[in-house]
Amino acid sequence: MLSRVPVVACVLTLGSLPSLHAGALDPPIVEADVPQPEQVTIEPGYEFGFLGLGTGVALGVHDAPALSVSSLHPSGVFHSNGQHRQITFSQSAAWTVQDGPRSFFVEWSGDLSVSRLNTSQRSRLGNGGPVVLSFGSAPDGTIDLNSSSGPAGAVATADVSLTDNTGGTGTITSSAFSPPGGAITQQAITTTASGGAFTALTTDGTNALSASYGAIFDAGGFVLSGLGDTQNSEVVIEATDRITSVRQQILGGWQIPTTSDWTITAKVGPTLTVTDRSLSRDEMVEIAPTTNSANGPTIGLTSRDTVTSSTYGAATQISFSRPLTDAWTGSIGLSAEIGRFDSKYSGYSRVTAPSLSDGPEIRHRDRLSGATGRAGLQIGVSRPIALGGVLSLSLYGQRGFNQPTLRATALSPITATVSGTGEDASLVSTGQQAYRNELTTGSSWSAGAGVSVAYVF
């Protein structure tokens, strides 16, 4: 006869890095007295029997590896840090194998894990200046600004010119003056073959306030400079960090004999995971108007950065279970995994403005490979239910090491030169790049709770 080999209830199986299968519940396919599976003889000495199917769901939090990217944020970098809300769906199936007096089981499991983190930020530009915001490799060009005010009124001027990456040129010369009792908010934009220039001026003669802004951009990058009373203007960032991960795993397992009422089960086998982490964000420079206009001039970027990783490796698990009552069984599972990841980064940003119909795209690429690992702990209870099923409840925790992520690396900052009076500023751009997005690695942790049901046939 083919002996029954239990698959221990709620043993945590961990997806290969950099997946997010914290708490992926491979449903137990039984630890109860169940009918013998049907036997199929494959060759002399070996008999196979289908044991059962299981399904599970887990809810938790996932603190993903810290991610940072080049940004229009006044610091030059946007950080996506924090705890993602995570849900994981799991499926599993198991077969028993008999070779004479020896028996073991084979278990397949597949998981889909989805997590999300939304971020909203508002950052003021500060006062005086000059303020410089840049992204990518700024095009060749100049931004000359003037901002002054006094009893006679407020004055602002901007002279902006560029040569884009295709050789196209563009120029804007703009000026505004408001005597006491007057106020002006104005903007201008011009485009080239693969880029453009932008200016915005605000003057308030009554309160003696003025500010001047200029920007140039092409398919290589973007730079904006501001001078004067810029303290009420803001950079507004809305971002969504999504992580989707799919794991497939096949483990072979066996029961370790004991002389107590504890059941010890070990598993080992290969695992493959594909993970997609996508950071989408809208970054807008909102220039505070000095008139009664509901909206001031705006210019910004729409960006999407994606890290796609494939990880293959080996997983091992060991679980300890014992009866708690006539109905309930308790279990503790430990798991570890080591593997290799291959990651690819693709990013793009598009310049956006109300009067710009199709801004240039700024693109980024990188690749990285390396070793990775993770370890986990799960505590659960299970009990038989109707129709030959087993219900399991569990709590889990997991720690991941050396997982792929993005980092904004500082290069050559772009600065503007200010006159002695502070009323004039000049920025000369020759393709400098303040930050570059690169693949790197970091650590993560996850925790949560799950429920699963398995049916034995």
Task: Please check the confidence at residue 278 and state whether its pLDDT lies above 80.
Answer: yes
Higher-confidence residue of 360 and 93: namely 93
Give the pLDDT of residue 201. 96
What letter represents residue 142's amino acid?
Answer: T
Model confidence band, residue 418 (pLDDT cutoffs 50, 70, 90): confident
At 375 the pLDDT is 96
* pLDDT > 70: percent of the chain: 88
Q: With 80 as the cut, is the pLDDT of residue 454 above it?
A: yes
- Outline where DSSP puts E strands in 21-101: 39-43, 46-63, 67-70, 77-80, 83-99
Q: Would you say 396 and 447 are in contact if contact means Cβ atoms under 8 Å apart? A: yes
Examine the pLDDT at 154 and tell me if it is beyond 90: yes
C-alpha distances in Å from residue 314, one per residue of 15, 261, 269: 10, 30, 6
Residues with Cβ within 8 Å of 121's Cβ and at least 6 positions away in sequence, in order, are 73, 78, 235, 236, 237, 239
Radius of gyration (Cα) for the chain, nearest Å? 30
pLDDT at position 5 is 32
The residue that leads in pLDDT, 295 or 451, is 451
The pLDDT-based confidence of 297 (bands split at 50, 70, 90) is very high
Give pLDDT, residue 387.
85
Flag whether pLDDT at 9 surpasses 50.
no
pLDDT attached to residue 31: 45
Cα 325 to Cα 363: distance, rounded to the nearest angstrom: 61
pTM comes to: 0.85
- Decide if 65 contacts 443 (C-beta within 8 A): yes
Say which amino acid occupies 71.
S
Looking at residue 437, its amino acid is N
The chain-wide mean pLDDT, for the chain, equals 87
Q: What percent of the chain has pLDDT over 90?
A: 74
Tokens of 451: 């429920």
pLDDT of residue 74: 93
Cβ atoms of 48 and 96 within 8 Å: the answer is: yes
Per-residue pLDDT, 445? 94
Mean pLDDT, residues 177-192 taken together: 94
Query: Is the pLDDT confidence value at 222 over 50?
Result: yes
Q: Residue length, the chain?
A: 457
Q: Which residues are bridge partners to 3 per DSSP? A: none
d(CA 52, CA 456): 4
Compute the average pLDDT of residues 161-174.
95
Which pLDDT band holds residue 21 (cuts at 50, 70, 90)?
very low
CB 215 within 8 A of CB 233: no
- Give the H/E segment covering residue 449: strand 435-456
Q: Which two tokens stand for residue 379?
A: 């505590």
> Are 64 and 20 within 8 A, CB to CB?
yes
Q: What is the pLDDT of residue 100?
A: 60
**Lowest mean pLDDT segment, chosen from 16-20, 110-114, 416-420:** 16-20
Choice between 42 and 65, residue whose per-residue pLDDT is larger = 65
Residues 416 and 426 sit within 8 Å (Cβ to Cβ): yes
Inform me whether the pLDDT recorded for 373 exceeds 90. yes
Position 358 scores a pLDDT of 78
Residue 267 · residue 251 · CB < 8 Å = yes
| Cα 329 to the center of its chain, rounded Å | 38
Beta-carbon contacts of 150 under 8 Å, excluding residues fewer than 6 positions away, are: 208
What per-residue confidence (pLDDT) applies to 329? 96
Residue 415 has pLDDT above 80, yes or no: yes
10 pLDDT exceeds 50? no
CA dihedral 366, 367, 372, 378 (to 10 degrees): 60
Task: Provide the pLDDT for residue 8.
Answer: 31
With 0-12 CB in 10 A as exposed, 13-18 as middle and 19+ as buried, what is 1?
exposed
**pLDDT tens digits along 68-118:** 999 999 999 999 988 999 999 999 999 988 766 667 899 999 999 999 999
Angle at 317 between CA 40 and CA 103, to 5 degrees: 25
Evaluate whether 223 touches 143 at the Cβ level (below 8 Å).
yes
Determine the pLDDT at residue 421. Answer: 77
CB 202, CB 231: distance < 8 Å: no
Buried b (16+ CB within 10 A) or exposed e, 206-232: eebbbbbbbbbbbbbbbbbbbbbbbbb
Averaged pLDDT, 236-261: 94
Task: State whether residue 388 is helix, strand or coil.
Answer: helix
* Residue 310: pLDDT over 90: yes
Alpha-carbon dihedral 33, 37, 43, 46, rounded to 10 degrees: -10
Going by pLDDT thresholds of 50, 70 and 90, the confidence category of residue 43 is very low
Closest CA to 62 of 319, 278, 244, 281: 244
DSSP type of residue 38: P
